[in-house]
Amino acid sequence: MRIDKIEAIPVMVPLHKVFSGSGYRVDSRCTVITRISTADGLVSEVYNGDNRAHCGTIARIIEDELAPLLIGEDATRIERLWAKMFPLAHPNRDRKLVMEAIACVDTALWDLLGKSLGASVSILLGGYCDRLPIIAIAGYYEDGKTAADLAHEMRRLREAGMAGCKVKVGGLSAEADAERVAACRAGAGRDFILAVDANRGWPADEAIRFARQVEQYDIRWFEEPCHWYDDAAMMAEVRRRTTIPINAGQSEISAHGIRRLIAAGAVDLVNFDASEGGGISEWRRAAAMCAVYGKTMAHHEEPQISVHLLSAVPHGTYVECFPDPERDPLWAGMIRNRAPIRDGMIEVPQAPGFGLELDWDLIGKYRLDR
C-alpha cells in the first residue's frame, strides 16, 4: 500500500460568540484534514486538533517536511513511518507544532490501515467495547452568567443526551467557583457525571481549598488544577489532600510527558490527546503505560478520534464533546455520518478506519489554503 500523495487542509470556522476558560478565550474552531492517497486507490478522511493560531503552520509542516519523508513508503508500516517523522521534533523549534503535524499524518495512516483491512480503528487497537458514555465540555465563563443559568445549562445537556459535563473552573476564586459547581450539581441531579477543569488556573493552595469545598458534590475528577510552571509537583500535593481524582495530560506532547506525571504521583486519570502528542501510535504507548501503573484513560476533546481509542482499551472512560454547535460547528456539521448518541452513550463507529464521511462543501467554505 504505497503512499502516493499527502495533502493537509487547514480549516477555520469563526464562532458567533466567545467561550472562556480560566486562561483562554475561544473565538474560532480550527482543525487540519489530512488526506493520504495510496497507489491502491485508498484515501484517508479524518481531521485532527483545534490549534486556533497555527493550523496553517501545521499543514505546511505536513506538506513541506513530513510528506517528502513518506512518499513512496508502505502506508501499513506505521511504526516505521512514525520513527522517520519523529526526529523532526529534535531541533530547537516549536516542537508542539511538529508533534501535532506528526499526529495528523499518523492518524491518517491508521485510517488507511483500517480501510485496507475492513476494520475500525477501535478494533485494530483492541476493540474492548462498542459504546461509551459521552460527556459535554461546557459551563464556560460568560459575562452575566448566573448560578441559575448554570443549573439550566446542565439540565439542557441531560436533555441533549449527555451523561455528564466537564465544567470550567480556575478563573475565579476557589469560593466563587465552588458556588458555580454547586449550581451545576443542583441543576444536573446526583446521577449526572460532573467533572471540573481548571486549565492550570490555580496555585496548589487555592486548588486544594476549592477541592475541599466541592468534594461533597461527587466530582468525577479535578482536571489540571495547577499552574504550568511546576504542575506535576503541585498536582501531586493537591492529589494528596483531596478525595477527588486528579486528571491531567492534555498539555503533554509525548508519552514521555505522561511518564513524568505518573512518576510524580500527580494523576489518577490521564487525558493525553492523540492530536496534540504524536497521534494514535503515541497515544497507544501512553495508554499501555497507564494500564501498567493502574491509571485510567480519558481523552481531551476530539470525539471523532477518542471514541475509537477509549473503546479499544479496558481502562477507557468517557468521550468528551462540545454538544453546542456554537462551540464546535465541525462536530455539529462537518461529519455527515456522526455516531449515534442515546441515553448518555455514543456508539463506536464500525465502518473501516475512523469511519468518517466529511462534508466537503463546508470544508470548501472554511479552508484557509484557498
For 91-110, how does the pLDDT look when each residue is reduced to its tens digit (9 = 90+)? Answer: 999 999 999 999 999 999 99
Whole-angstrom Cα Rg for the chain: 20
Query: What does the block give as the cell for 111?
Result: 485510517
- Rounded average pLDDT over 366-370: 92
- 363 pLDDT above the threshold of 90: yes
Hey, where are the domains in the chain?
Answer: 3-118+359-366, 123-347
How high is the pLDDT of residue 5? 98
Confidence at residue 370, expressed as pLDDT on a 0 to 100 scale:
79
Q: How many residues does the chain have?
A: 370
**Secondary structure class of 47 (helix, strand, coil):** strand
Q: How many whole angstroms separate alpha carbon 223 and alpha carbon 237?
A: 14
49-59 pLDDT, tens digit each: 998 889 999 99
Q: Which residues contact 176 (CB under 8 A, 6 or more apart)?
A: none
Q: What is the pLDDT of residue 361?
A: 97
* Alpha carbon of residue 352 to chain centroid: 21
Whether the per-residue pLDDT at 308 is higher than 90: the answer is yes
Question: What per-residue confidence (pLDDT) applies to 51?
Answer: 86
Q: What is the pLDDT of residue 232?
A: 97
Q: Mean pLDDT throughout 112-122?
A: 98
- Whether the per-residue pLDDT at 15 is higher than 90: the answer is yes
H-state helical runs in the chain? 55-61, 67-70, 78-85, 95-117, 121-125, 147-159, 174-188, 204-214, 231-240, 255-263, 280-292, 303-312, 329-333, 360-366
Confidence of residue 331 (pLDDT cuts 50, 70, 90): very high
Share above pLDDT 90 across residues of the chain, in percent, rounded to a whole number? 98
In the prediction, which pLDDT does 52 show?
85
Please tell me the predicted confidence (pLDDT) of residue 55. 95
**One-letter amino acid of 159:** E
When pLDDT is averaged across residues 68-77 and rounded to a whole number, the result is 98
Rounded to whole angstroms, how far apart are CA atoms 45 and 353?
9
At 174-228, the pLDDT tens digits run 999 999 999 999 999 999 999 999 999 999 999 999 999 999 999 999 999 999 9
Measured CA distances, 210 to 112, 171, 206, 226 (Å): 46, 12, 6, 12
Share of residues in the chain with pLDDT > 70 (%) = 100
Burial of 126 per CB tally in 10 Å (0-12, 13-18, 19+): middle
Specify the pLDDT at position 53: 87
Q: What is the mean pLDDT of residues 283-307?
A: 98
The superfamily in CATH containing domain 3-118+359-366 is Enolase-like, N-terminal domain (3.30.390.10)
The candidate with the shortest Cα–Cα distance to 124, out of 175, 78, 66, is: 78
Instruction: Identify the architecture of domain 123-347 in CATH.
Output: Alpha-Beta Barrel (3.20)
Given a cut of 90, whether residue 244 has pLDDT beyond it is yes
